[in-house]
């Protein structure tokens, strides 16, 4: 497996392209927007430069990685030679089903079709293709070049052969793959999102403030980020949509999203990407200021 196509050049897509290219694979990075592709290449360059500065990789590996990436605005052309396609488009079921139909028609018959979805059913996605045994979830974590985990999700019809080849490939990327079955939220988000939701409920009910809640979890549980900062980092709209998948999928009220989260998303406060969530973000700064609404 040498030729990899990545569909979607946003935060996850460019991170996935970065990791494959760094490990010597030919990467075709695909997006409908030429502008997004340019931004993605600039981000990959910046993140590789950071790894060179830290001594994690050599300048030569960086150069080779950049040379390994080509871009395309057409799915059909961009995936024609791919042995594996990783779809990392926006988290919308309708969009993913449309892309998978197109991928199935244009990809080589031997190609594996994977998705980086954080919560949409792999079985459902596979059902619109003629090769459900070759459809699998490859759930990378953000930031992709740093986080070691790949959650490998088997749909109902995913074959052992497909699973084994994705587990082996993940190890070649120096990641740790973990196999999971296809139920709402898989493992990562079934556990992470209720924790984030509970942190938001704690704020909503006045148990403690934003920095107090995050400090308890950072210092008390050794989490690198508190759950409210992590929610901002993931995107509050993404957290809400995953909670809705859990709520609908299990029909259990324990997954009901906190009304404060719903309001914040409706008001456009989506976290880092919108400049404001539980914290306020200045472009290019790592400094955190509790958003005005939550300040004492
Ligand atoms: N590319 C390459 N390297 C990067 C990078 C990137 N995009 N971002 C950070 N790094 C490197 C830095 O160079 C640094 O390297 P060294 O340790 O060698 O010095 C290291 O990562 C730590 O970075 P920083 O010093 O800049 O910042 P930090 O110490 O605050 O760590 C963090 C940042 C890694 C993001 C850390 O805060 C963290 O682990 N946060 C939690 C992340 C998390 O939980 N991710 C999962 C989210 S859930 C998800 O993705 C899935 C989903 O479905 C919702």
* CATH assignment at residue 23: 3.40.50.720
- Beta strands 84-87 and 135-140 are unpaired
**Angle, vertex CA 45, rays to CA 40 and CA 51, nearest 5:** 125
Q: Please check whether residues 16 and 81 belong to one and the same domain.
A: yes
Q: Are residues 20 and 164 in the same domain?
A: yes
* Pocket lining: 14 vs ligand 1, CB cutoff 6 Å: no
The string of DSSP codes covering 74-118 is: -HHHHHTT-SEEEE---S-HHHHHHHHHHHHHHS-TT-EEEE--S
Separation of CA 280 and ligand 1 centre (Å): 19
Kindly report, residue by residue over 25-70, the tens digit of the pLDDT: 999 999 999 999 999 999 999 999 999 999 999 999 999 999 999 9
Q: Which residues contact 219 (CB under 8 A, 6 or more apart)?
A: none
Q: Whole domain around residue 259: which residue ranges?
A: 189-294
Query: What's the pLDDT at 158?
Result: 98
Whether residue 167 sits in one domain with residue 214: no
Per the CB < 8 A criterion, the answer to whether 239 and 231 are in contact is: yes
Q: Is 224 in the pocket of ligand 1 (CB under 6 A)?
A: yes
Whether 133 sits among the annotated catalytic residues: the reply is no
Give the separation between CA 228 and CA 221, rounded to whole angstroms. Answer: 14
In angstroms, what is the span from residue 277 Cα to ligand 1's centroid? 19
Does residue 157 sit in the same domain as residue 29? yes
- Tally of domains in the chain: 2
Going by C-alpha positions, the residue among 57, 55, 72 that lies closest to residue 17 is: 72
Residues 170 and 202 reside in one and the same domain: no
* Residue 166 and residue 236 share a domain: no
Q: Are residues 107 and 32 part of one domain?
A: yes
pLDDT digits (tens, 9 = 90+) for 86-130: 999 998 999 999 999 999 999 999 999 999 999 999 999 999 999
Domain final residue, candidates 150, 181, 212: 181
Closest CA to 134 of 68, 82, 69: 82
User: Rounded to whole angstroms, how far apart are CA atoms 103 and 78?
Assistant: 10
Q: Is the pTM of this model over 0.75?
A: yes
């Amino acid at each position: 497996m040498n030729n990899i196509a990545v569909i979607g050049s946003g935060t996850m897509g460019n991170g996935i392209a970065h990791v494959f290219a760094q490990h010597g694979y030919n990467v075709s990075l695909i997006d409908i927007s030429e502008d997004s592709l340019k931004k993605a290449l600039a981000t990959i360059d910046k993140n590789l430069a950071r790894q060179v500065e830290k001594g994690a990789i050599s300048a030569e590996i960086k150069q080779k990685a950049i040379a390994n990436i080509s871009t395309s605005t057409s799915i059909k052309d961009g995936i024609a030679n791919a042995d594996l396609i990783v779809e990392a488009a926006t988290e919308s079921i309708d969009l993913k089903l449309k892309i998978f139909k197109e991928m199935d028609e244009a990809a080589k018959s031997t190609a594996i079709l994977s998705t980086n979805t954080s919560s949409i059913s792999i079985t459902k996605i596979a059902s619109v293709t003629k090769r459900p045994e070759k459809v699998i979830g490859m759930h990378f974590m953000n930031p992709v070049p740093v986080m070691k985990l790949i959650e490998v999700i088997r749909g109902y019809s995913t074959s052992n052969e497909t699973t084994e080849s994705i587990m082996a490939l993940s190890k070649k990327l120096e990641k740790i793959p973990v196999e999971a079955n296809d139920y709402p939220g898989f493992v990562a988000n079934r556990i992470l999102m209720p924790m984030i939701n509970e942190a938001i409920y704690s704020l909503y009910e006045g148990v403690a403030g934003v920095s107090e809640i995050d400090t308890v979890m950072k210092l008390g549980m050794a989490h690198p980020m508190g759950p409210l900062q992590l929610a901002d980092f993931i995107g509050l709209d993404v957290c809400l949509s995953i909670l809705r998948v859990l709520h609908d999928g299990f029909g259990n009220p324990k997954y009901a999203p906190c009304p404060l989260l719903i309001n914040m998303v409706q008001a456009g406060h989506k976290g880092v990407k919108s400049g404001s969530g539980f914290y306020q973000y200045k472009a290019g700064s790592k400094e955190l200021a509790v958003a005005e609404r939550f300040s004492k």
